[in-house]
Chain A
Amino acid sequence: MAEKAYLGKTISVTDEGYLTDSSQWTKEIAVEIAKEEGLTLTDKHFAVIEYLRDRVLKGEALTIRSIGKSGVVDTKGFYELFPGAPLKKATKIAGVAKPVSCV
């Protein structure tokens, strides 16, 4: 367990930087985490982030396939919004746990 300061607030995170308490997340913190990942967030990013938070808080497991079928973003769009490792990056920015899915 580690701690990180975002915008003057102390947030508890895992060693890899994922928020351990989703309720500490704010849009402003998302912008800060995104900066660390080299991303500038747009409305499109936030639409995906809200969708991911909604599903994770409902206890659902995330897969690239289900996100691509969500209607919020298609698979290609998801890779374009969060280049490299989209699921890992997007969940980190969304302040939810690192997904454990293989697909």
Chain B
Amino acid sequence: MANLDHPIKKVMIICAKANIEDVYAALVMANGAVMEGIEAKVFFTFFGLDAITKKQMKKLHTATVGNPGMRMPGGLPFPTILGMIPGVEAGVSAMMKSQMEKLDIPPVDEFLELITAGGGEIYACKLAVEMFKLTKEDFSEHVKDIITIGQFYELAAGEGTQIIFT
């Protein structure tokens, strides 16, 4: 039975990478929190900004080079040299996305819509936004604001908050 004395009331999730698996880990955790009635705020920074950038959000990939968890269909090891061939990474990524679709895991833009519809909030990191020379207009309509890390900690204030870095 769950410990009901100290429930988690708020999760602050940070996503700093653009790999499918990192972005989806953040999105599933945020959406799962909202579904449980837990306040959720997601902070995208560095390459993670791709997930909320209109131009990039539909083109996320998983790495086929330097990814030891990668296997061929059937379970055999996936040779790194194969992953270097043009188009392989895109193919593998498309396959992952179709597998997720079967489990009713939505594409990134729709996932952001689900999270915000439930009251979750999406933020972009000011420092990374400046570094990549992006503006508010480059981001999905579901991005609430561009904020500093200081503001992020202010939003985290309160008892029962957890900060999660994916």
In angstroms, Cα B104 to Cα A83, docked, is 22
A70 interface residue per 8 A CB criterion:
no
User: Whole-angstrom distance from the CB of B8 to the nearest CB of chain A?
Assistant: 13
In angstroms, Cα B31 to Cα A67, docked, is 14
Whether the Cβ atoms of A103 and B28 lie closer than 8 Å is yes
- Chain A contacts for B106, CB-based, 8 A: 65, 103
Whether the Cβ atoms of B28 and A102 lie closer than 8 Å is yes
- Chain B contacts for A76, CB-based, 8 A: 117-118
Closest to B37 in A: A84
Whether the Cβ atoms of A85 and B117 lie closer than 8 Å is no
Counting chain B CB atoms within 10 Å of each CB, which of A15, A68, A103 scores highest? A103
Whether the Cβ atoms of B35 and A85 lie closer than 8 Å is yes
Whether the Cβ atoms of B36 and A75 lie closer than 8 Å is no
* Count of interface residues, chain B, beta-carbon cutoff 8 Å: 18
A63 interface residue per 8 A CB criterion:
yes
B70 interface residue per 8 A CB criterion:
no
Whether the Cβ atoms of B28 and A85 lie closer than 8 Å is no
- Chain A contacts for B119, CB-based, 8 A: 79
Whether the Cβ atoms of B114 and A65 lie closer than 8 Å is yes
A17 interface residue per 8 A CB criterion:
no
A32 interface residue per 8 A CB criterion:
no
Of the candidates B1, B34, B117, which one forms a contact with A68 in the assembled complex, judged by CB atoms under 8 Å apart?
B117
A56 interface residue per 8 A CB criterion:
no
- Chain A contacts for B22, CB-based, 8 A: none
Of the candidates B32, B37, B103, B117, which one forms a contact with A75 in the assembled complex, judged by CB atoms under 8 Å apart?
B117
Known pairs A101-B104, A103-B28, A103-B105 / 15 extra A-B pairs, C-beta < 8 Å: A61-B104, A64-B118, A65-B110, A66-B104, A68-B114, A75-B113, A75-B118, A79-B34, A79-B118, A85-B36, A86-B118, A88-B36, A102-B28, A103-B31, A103-B106
- Chain B interface residues (CB < 8 Å from chain A): 1, 28, 31-32, 34-37, 103-106, 110, 113-114, 117-119
- Chain A interface residues (CB < 8 Å from chain B): 15, 61, 63-66, 68, 74-76, 79, 83-88, 101-103
